[in-house]
Structures are given as C-alpha cells and as structure tokens.
C-alpha cells in the first residue's frame, strides 16, 4: 500500500512546520508503513475473526505468526479481546509472544524486548484522537509508564486499519516494577482479573482481601480517619490525579477501566493506580446517568436519571462520575473532597495551555500521518463512526479548544469550592 503523493507532500509540510522549532536530535519522523504488525493466519481464520460477533477466544490450529520489520516471530497465544468491541469487524488482539519482539522507543531512545502486548482497535475512538489525548495527559502526570504507539495491523497483508499498541500492564508492573500483585477492578469493585508475581510472599487471597478493605472501610470511617485508612491501602494521590484527568477529559466510563498494582511507599506495600482503556472520553454525561445496573451499592440503592439527580444527591462536585462507591465517598466526605481538590488544582496548573497544545500537536503528527494512507483510514467504515482527514482536523481543533475552556472553568470552580 503506497501513500498518495499529494497527501504525503502535505504531511511533510505540516511536519516541517511543527518541527521547525525543534533541535535536529529531537526530531521524530513518522513512517506509518514501517511499523506494521502483519499476523499470518489461515484464510478461514481471517474470515472468522472479521465475521464473528460477541466472542472472545484464542486463535489456534495453527497459532498465527507475526511478520514484523522483515522478521517472522512465533506466537504462544493470540487472543481476540475486548468487551463491546467484539461486536465489530475490527477486533482487538492480545498477543503473548513465543519469541520476544524487539521494539525501539524513539522517546526514550532505547530498545526493549516485549513478550506480551495489546493491540486496541479503537472502534469507539472518534477520529482516533481520544486514546492519544488521554494517554498524553496521563504521561504528563507520570501515570502512564508503559510503552504505547499507533500502528497498522494486517491479517495476511489485508489491512485491519489503525491500532494502538500497548505493552501489557500486568507484565510491565510485575516484571519491570517488581509488583507482587496486579488487579483490574470491575463493577461493584470486584476483581475482574489479576496476576501474581512468582516471587510474591503471599497468595492471591491476601491481596484480594487487602483490595476489598478499601471498600469495606468506606462506611466505617470519615474525615481524616478515612483519608488515613485509605492511604494505608492505596496511593490516594495517584488516584486523585487520575480522577482529575477523568474530570478534565470527561471520561464517560472508568469504573471498570482501572488497574491497581502493589508498590512500596514509605516502607509500606500499597496499591498504585494505572488507568486503562480510555476510548470513551469527551462524554456528554457520566456513565451512571440512566445506568442503574452499574452503580455500586455499599451506600444503598442509588439511581440517577439526570445530572440534576446527581447534584441533588452530592452537590455540584468537580468529579465527573460518582458511579463507583470510592468516588461517591470522595464526593460526600468533606475532608476527602478537599484533599482531592488540592490535587485537582495541582493537575490543572501542570496541564496548562502550552501543555494542551503540545499534546494535540503530538496527535496531529503521530495519528495524522496515518490519514495519508486511504486504505488504513477506510477501515473506519467498520467502526462505530467513520472518519476522514477533514473530520480528524475538525475534531482535533474542537477538542483542543474544549479542553482549554474546560480547564479554565475547573480553575474558576476551584476558587469557589476550595476550603468552603
């Protein structure tokens, strides 16, 4: 597949303008056709992957191989993954390599080997800017340590479109950060899945019980007592930071999109926080509106048919969602909420207008390069919303201004609400 010349020249012009103020050594040239994950499957496997709906399964007999950068890699496990994305032709993939793949990280200027990674199809990510926006913000606040980038995926040289590569966070935290245990939270604060280090001093029941203590203490303590109690189990500053970004980007679905991993802080082992699957941002309203089934019940039955119902319950709080009981506790506990507002202000001061511009310029450069290839972007016809280059530019401009305006509004509200 060749890049059409007019678009290619146009992109070179845009990139030259963007990079004109950079030092030569800092320049990163995006070459979409150089980073292609081409999985070698049978014809029947390819048809089955594209045609099935609602099924999560492992592809076997034979297990696919990976053709990448001129090398053929063997794969140990190739899984069709996701929740609602399983209902689309473009599937997400979870890959466990038999032979580790070596990738170059241009931002760190290092090569690393990867055994497990995800390839997200982003079928709900309108014009493919949402993951880039959210991840860029999380990186600025040291909440996104894993390696990620945009790439093309093919099955037997048949393009599947634009994907988002993410090294597996479970593997990352256990193997690179020496975490003993990693949990993905589900609805009703259940443990959706987990991974335990072979070097862990405890079995999984100990860590799961520790995680559940976060929630069992919510109705017992309040004020500085609940703050101190929660701090003994989790990195509250990290959690507040994540909620601050969720507020800024209007994250419409994050109750079951968060990972907790064990880490050491002040000589104690607590749960750190890692955001996950952020392709439902810029939402009109939080997920709990009209979704009674999704709301936690530790504080009794809660139901919201509109934002007026939310405000009637907790007031006009600077939290985008109170679906999860931990977030609800932060909203209703005066001391916890004021501690959260301190973090929110710090985050808003760090994510200034210059930072927002930098993040959107990055998206324009890294995602925009793929729009020069019609065959890649044409696959968006299988997504929730089809895209094109004009929609990409318009959405990028609109969301850039929206985040600036929303940041200003949050800062104005902080002046009103802090220390009331």
**What is the reported pLDDT for 29?**
58
CB distance 140 to 363 below 8 Å: no
**What is the reported pLDDT for 163?**
97
Average pLDDT, the chain: 92
Q: Break the chain into its structural domains and give their ranges.
A: 5-20+32-167+352-409, 171-351
Position 5 pLDDT exceeds 80: no
What global pTM score does this model have? 0.91
Report d(CA 48, CA 68) in Å as an integer.
23
The residue with tokens 């001061």 is 349
13: confidence class by pLDDT, cuts 50, 70, 90: very low
Mean per-residue pLDDT, 319-331: 97
**What is the reported pLDDT for 83?**
80
For the stretch 90-135, pLDDT in tens is: 999 999 999 899 998 887 888 999 999 999 999 999 999 999 999 9
Q: Quick one: residue 355, left, alpha or beta (phi over 0 = left, psi -120 to 50 = alpha)?
A: alpha
Mean per-residue pLDDT, 226-234: 98
33: confidence class by pLDDT, cuts 50, 70, 90: low
140: confidence class by pLDDT, cuts 50, 70, 90: very high
Position 209 pLDDT exceeds 70: yes
């Amino acid at each position: 597949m060749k890049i059409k010349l007019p678009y290619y020249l146009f992109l070179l012009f845009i990139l030259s303008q963007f990079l004109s103020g950079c030092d030569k050594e800092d320049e990163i040239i995006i070459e979409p056709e150089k980073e292609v994950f081409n999985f070698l499957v049978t014809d029947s496997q390819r048809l089955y992957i594209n045609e099935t709906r609602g099924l999560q399964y492992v592809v076997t007999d034979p297990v696919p191989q990976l053709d990448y950068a001129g090398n053929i890699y063997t794969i140990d496990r190739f899984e069709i993954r996701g929740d609602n994305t399983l209902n689309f032709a473009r599937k997400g993939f979870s890959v466990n390599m038999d032979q580790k793949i070596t990738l170059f990280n241009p931002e760190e200027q290092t090569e690393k080997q990867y055994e497990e990674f995800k390839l997200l199809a982003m079928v709900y990510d309108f014009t493919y800017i949402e993951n880039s926006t959210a991840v860029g913000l999380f990186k600025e606040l040291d909440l996104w340590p894993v390696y990620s980038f945009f790439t093309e995926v093919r099955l037997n040289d048949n393009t599947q479109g634009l994907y988002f590569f993410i090294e597996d966070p479970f593997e990352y935290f256990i193997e690179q950060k020496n975490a003993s245990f990693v949990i993905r939270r589900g609805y009703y604060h259940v443990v959706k899945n987990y991974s335990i280090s072979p070097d862990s001093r405890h079995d999984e029941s100990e860590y799961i019980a520790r995680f559940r203590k976060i929630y069992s203490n919510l109705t017992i303590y309040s004020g500085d007592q609940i703050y101190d109690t929660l701090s003994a189990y989790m990195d509250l500053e990290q959690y507040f930071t994540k909620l601050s970004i969720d507020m800024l980007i209007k994250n419409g679905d994050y109750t079951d999109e968060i990972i907790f991993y064990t880490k050491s802080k002040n000589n104690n082992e607590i749960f750190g926080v890692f955001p996950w699957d952020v392709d439902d941002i810029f939402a009109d309203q939080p997920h709990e509106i009209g979704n009674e089934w999704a709301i936690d019940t530790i504080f009794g039955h809660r139901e919201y048919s509109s934002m007026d119902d939310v405000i009637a319950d907790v007031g006009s709080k600077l939290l985008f969602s109170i679906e999860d009981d931990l977030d609800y506790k932060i909203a209703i506990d005066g001391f916890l909420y004021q501690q959260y507002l301190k973090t929110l202000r710090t985050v808003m001061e760090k994510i200034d207008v210059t930072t927002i511009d930098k993040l959107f310029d990055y998206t324009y450069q890294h995602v925009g390069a793929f729009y020069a290839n019609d065959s890649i972007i044409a696959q968006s016809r299988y997504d929730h919303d089809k895209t094109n280059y004009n929609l990409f530019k318009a959405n990028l401009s609109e969301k850039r201004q929206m985040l600036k305006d929303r940041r200003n509004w949050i800062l104005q509200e902080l002046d009103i609400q802090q220390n009331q």
